Each structure stands twice: as structure tokens, then as C-alpha cells.
Chain A
Amino acid sequence: EVQLVESGGDLVQPGRSLRLSCAASGFTFDDYAMHWVRQAPGKGLEWVSGISWNSGTTAYADSVKGRFTISRDSAKNSLYLQMNSLRVEDTALYYCAKGKYQLLLGAFDIWGQGTMVTVSS
């Protein structure tokens, strides 16, 4: 079964850091781009970051550029999001999503259930 399972969400204070993980199974992880998408409570979808199949290309939303870092580990079939200098407006459910192709420019065909990040003092 194709599956993505996120973890690492938590309640943190503004300015602190958090690392999200996404464990992939049921497909050849190395063959596809991967992404993080977030959804604030009651709001729409916001693409956060993406990484190509071989980590050669990464991209970020302007709202997180310079604070968040995406990475992947093929040995562990895992995707990560290192989030630094967290802000209240980063509060959201963070989804891991699989791209349909190797490069970033493709639709997202598999989504995890999400992990909740709450930034509050």
C-alpha cells in the first residue's frame, strides 16, 4: 500500500525550532519529487516546499524562505522539514505529498494525513 506518514508536530513557542518527518512506503521513494503543504485551521492549502528526486532542486514559498529547510534520505525513505524561527502564522496542519514525477513541476498524487504544528506562547 502506498503510504505517507508524517510525524514531529508539536506545540512550540515563537522563535523555536521543530523538525517534521514523513515516512514513505509502497513506492520507489527515490523516483519522485516530494513536497510539504500546509493548511491553517479553517483555511486553504499553501505549498511550503518541494525537493526533486535526487535532492538536486529545492524550492520554498516566500513565507518560509530562509527559515525552513527541506531534505530527504533515500536510505530511510524519508522526507524532512527543518523549521527554524517559528512564527505564530506557521500554525497549521502540515501535509507530506508525493509528486507525480522526478522534478518539482507536477501534481501531487499521494498525501499523508498530516501533522499539526502549533506556534504559541
Chain B
Amino acid sequence: DIVMTQSPDSLAVSLGERATINCKSSQSVLYASNNKNYLAWYQQKPGQPPKLLISWASTRESGVPDRFSGSGSGTDFTLTISSLQAEDVAVYYCQQYFSTPLTFGGGTKVEIK
């Protein structure tokens, strides 16, 4: 099974500042034949289901603000919120869909400093 490890567990960022979340997979999720990273990022606000933000490591879903960006390849990935807004307070999860069982990271809680 592919283990997804996120860091930090939580972070507090001032409004308008950058937030960076890391995700590391125990093995590569880059599929050589199509050069795609099978990695997604989700946002979960309190009392709500998760929302897909980014798939293929860096492709934003329709309607997701461009302050959210994903980067990385192979085993190391990053979700960046370029200018934190109040509505971005949430828990963020990475997920690999390279192989079953599909697995999620433990989550990173983002708060306002």
C-alpha cells in the first residue's frame, strides 16, 4: 500500500500570507507511460464533505480560485495557497489514486494567525 504523509499537521498563517502544505508518498505516483502524477488535493471545511481542489498534482478544478496551486512529481508534492483568505480555513488532504487501495494523507489543518 502507498502511504501518504503530510506535513505539517497544522499551520497558522496571517491573512494575505502564503500557506504551504507538503505531501510525500512512500512510492512514486508518477505513471511513466503518460507522465502524469496520480495525486489529488481536497479541502474539507467543518461540517462539510471534502471538495476536490486539484487533480493530476497541479490541475485546478473548475471554479477553484487561482490562489490554490499544486506542484511536485514522483513522491514529493506541495499545495500552496498564495494569499490566505478567511474562507480558506479548513483541513487539506492529499490522496494518491495511482493504485488501490487508494490512500489519503493524514490532513493538514490551516488556521488564521
> Are A and B bound to each other?
yes
CB pair B61 A104 closer than 8 Å: no
The size class of the interface chain B forms with chain A is 20 to 34
B68 interface residue (CB < 8 Å to A):
no
A107 contacts B52, C-beta separation under 8 Å: yes
Inter-chain contact A111/B49, CB cutoff 8 Å: yes
Q: Chain A 89-117, CB within 8 Å of chain B: the 1/0 string?
A: 00000010000100011111101111000
Hey, which chain A residues are within 8 Å of B50, CB to CB?
Answer: 37, 45, 95, 108, 111
What is the size, in residues, of chain A's interface with B at 8 Å between Cβ atoms? 23
A112: chain B residues at CB < 8 Å are 49
What residues of A have a CB within 8 angstroms of the CB of B97 in the complex? 104-107
Q: Which residues from A are CB-within-8-Å of B69?
A: none
Q: Tell whether, in the assembled complex, residue B107 and residue A59 are in contact, meaning their CB atoms are under 8 Å apart.
A: no
Instruction: Check B52–A59 contact: CB distance below 8 A.
Output: no
Give the 4 A-B CB pairs with smallest separation, nearest first: A111-B49, A107-B40, A59-B100, A107-B55
Sample (5) of A-B pairs whose CB atoms are under 8 Å apart: A45-B93, A47-B95, A59-B100, A61-B101, A108-B42
**B-to-A contact residues, CB < 8 Å:** 1, 38, 40, 42, 44, 49-52, 55, 61, 91, 93, 95, 97-107
Could you tell me which A residues sit within 8 Å of B by CB distance? Answer: 35, 37, 44-47, 50, 59-62, 95, 100, 104-109, 111-114
